Amino acid sequence: MQVQPGDTVPALFGDRDAFLDMPAVFATANMVGLMEWACVEQMRPYYEEGEGSLGVHVDVDHTAPTLPGQVVTVETEVEEVDGRFIWFKVTAHDGVDQIGAGRHRRAVIRNEKFNDRLDVKRAQAGLEG
C-alpha cells in the first residue's frame, strides 16, 4: 500500500485535532490496520459461507518511520491454529527498512451470530440500529 497523507499521524482523529503537531509519518494505528488486512486476505479463501473474522489481539513493534509516497508491504505467516483462533506472524517493510513486526490473533466468527450479539448490545446501550 502506498502511504498517503491521510495515513499519517497528524491525520489520526483529524476531526479532534489530536495529533496535528506530530511528524507526518505512517501512523502506527494504520500500520496495525494494514497488518490486520493482510491477515484477513490470507484467511479469506478459507472462510466457509457466512464466516468472517475479527482481530482479537495485536502485539507489534513499530520501529522505523515511513514517509508519504513510500510503499509498505506486509507479510503474514500462520503460526498456530487453536480452534477458531489463528495466530499470525506479521512483518511490514517500506522498501528501505523493516518498519514493524510482531504477532496478531484473529477469531473466526459466524457473521449472523455475531450480528445478533450486536443487536442485543445495541438495545442495551439504547442505540438505534
Of the candidates 103, 105, 99, the one whose C-alpha atom is nearest the C-alpha of residue 85 is 105
Residue 57 known to be catalytic: no
Contact 26, 12 (CB under 8 A): no
Residue 28 known to be catalytic: yes
Pick the catalytic residue: 28, 51, 75, 91? 28
Residue 51 known to be catalytic: no
Pick the catalytic residue: 8, 36, 66, 76? 36
SS3 111: helix
Residue 40: its H or E element: helix 28-43
Pick the catalytic residue: 62, 76, 93, 104? 62
Which triple of cell numbers denotes residue 45?
A: 479463501
Catalytic center residues: 28, 36, 62
